[in-house]
Amino acid sequence: MSTSPPPPYYSPSPKIEYKSPPPPYVYNSPPPPYYAPAPKVEYKSPPPPYVYSS
């Protein structure tokens, strides 16, 4: 009875992870430079506002 919910919950999880990597992996040329500035901006935005919390 407890084995019914686990199967359906595991199906949608791997499906999303499998759809994300395929596209970016095909364009191995543009993704590298485009992925570097993305995480850099998110890391520089939160620190400033967090430092001036006082």
| Boundaries of domain holding 29 | 6-51
Determine, yes or no, domain membership for 25.
Answer: yes
- Provide the CA 43 distance to its chain's centre, in angstroms: 15
> What pLDDT is stored for residue 9 in this prediction?
52
Q: Using H for helix, E for strand and C for coil, what is the string for the chain?
A: CCCCCHHHHHCHHHHHHHHCCHHHHHCCCCHHHHHCHHHHHHHHCCHHHHHCCC
Determine, yes or no, domain membership for 10.
Answer: yes
Give the separation between CA 12 and CA 4, rounded to whole angstroms.
14
> What pLDDT is stored for residue 34 in this prediction?
47
Q: Average pLDDT, stretch 15-30?
A: 50
Single pTM value for the model? 0.10
Determine, yes or no, domain membership for 1.
Answer: no
Render pLDDT for 24-39 as a digit per residue (tens, 0 to 9): 545 445 555 544 454 5
Determine, yes or no, domain membership for 38.
Answer: yes
